[in-house]
Amino acid sequence: MRNKSKFLVVCHDTGGAEIISAFVKLRKKKNDCICFISGPAVKIFRRKKIKISIIRPVINIERVLKKYQQMRLTVLTEVGWSTDLGIKTILAAKKKSIKTAAYLDHWVNYKERFGFPRSDWVNNLPDEIWVGDKAAYLLAKRTFPCKVVIRYIPNQYFREIEAEYDKSVKIKPALNLLIVSEPLGEAINSYGQKLPILFNEFKWLEIILSNLARSNFKDKVILRLHPSEAMDKYDSILAKYVDKIRLEKSRNSSIMKDLIRVDTVIGATSMALVVAAICQKKVFSLILDKFLLFFVPKHPHICKLRAERDLLDKLKFVGKHPGA
């Protein structure tokens, strides 16, 4: 009898971990996923009660592969920006002629995740690229060489979000505002490559807060930090507005706990914007830098803003204002 094929899953970064853990959870009854997890991905897999082995990003992944190479394996990983674990896993598996797949969790910097513009970036590509929606599928088809198989594997994380939100909504949400930060000025891949942006995350946040103050916004403003950001990262900026805006920093691990409290969400290119749109929130994708493109896909609940004046105009219709 032929051995049953299995997925050997390797994850570290948050975005990819949310999607891949949802894929694994759906296959729990099949018992065909062996998970090696590190970093912030550990909390995500544990939250979903998925059996894992914890590894350090510096571990020799070849030792892990050697243990399971007699099985019919597909190595499934994510390729984030904070570690090269995904790339190392792909390269080690290819050396052993093990099938490889990378599940992309966003719509941004596809080639750069694998090392572009380095001349050898194509050597880092897996056998298959998995994407979770049709917009990502078309983008991947245009981006990667034809030798790489592009597969549309529906994003189960989005379905989890829909189900969780349906269960959690019991009352009409308050007219509060959620700001979703992200490290716009940080490296976009594990090789340290950065985009030549003019508006980093600090300028971006200050523009939003100054416009909220100008618009006399009276409801609560909640700041949700990216998982890679320190809780005190923006304290010097927030201190300028404590007397002008009702500010709060979220400490919730689950974004759902923030979304049920708000009516509107502002971000840049974060996956959280799509999650908010799925939950039928009013969403603004604010991109102020000419070097950044709108990477969030089209959605009826997402409004894309390119200028500060557009933001101020939209804020007039957000929350409660005097005379409203």
Q: Where are the domains of the chain?
A: 6-157, 168-317
First to last CA, the chain: 71
Question: Do 285 and 180 form a contact (C-beta atoms < 8 A)?
Answer: no
Reported as a single tens digit per residue, the pLDDT across 89-100 is 999 999 999 999
- Alpha-carbon span 196 to 16, nearest angstrom: 25
Query: Quick one: pLDDT at residue 72?
Result: 92
- Alpha-carbon span 148 to 122, nearest angstrom: 10
> What topology does CATH give the domain 6-157?
Rossmann fold (3.40.50)
* Neighbouring residues of 126: CB distance < 8 A, sequence distance ≥ 6: 75, 77, 90, 94, 100, 101, 102, 148
Query: Quick one: pLDDT at residue 1?
Result: 38
Which DSSP category does 131 fall into?
E
Question: Do 222 and 208 form a contact (C-beta atoms < 8 A)?
Answer: no
Query: Quick one: pLDDT at residue 321?
Result: 42
CATH class of this structure's domain 168-317: alpha beta
Q: Where are the alpha helices (DSSP H) in 27-72?
A: 41-47, 61-68
Query: Quick one: pLDDT at residue 117?
Result: 86
Q: How many other C-beta atoms are found inside a 10 Å radius of the C-beta of residue 218? A: 14
Query: Quick one: pLDDT at residue 89?
Result: 95
* Neighbouring residues of 204: CB distance < 8 A, sequence distance ≥ 6: 184, 268, 286, 288
On the question of a common fold for 6-157 and 168-317, the answer reads yes
Which parts of the chain are beta strand (E)? 6-11, 33-37, 53-54, 73-77, 99-103, 128-131, 149-152, 176-180, 220-224, 246-249, 262-267, 282-286, 302-305
Query: Quick one: pLDDT at residue 191?
Result: 53
Residue type, position 53, single letter: S
Q: What are residue 53's DSSP bridge partners?
A: 36
Which DSSP category does 208 fall into?
H
Which portions of the chain are predicted below pLDDT 50? 1, 187, 189, 321-324
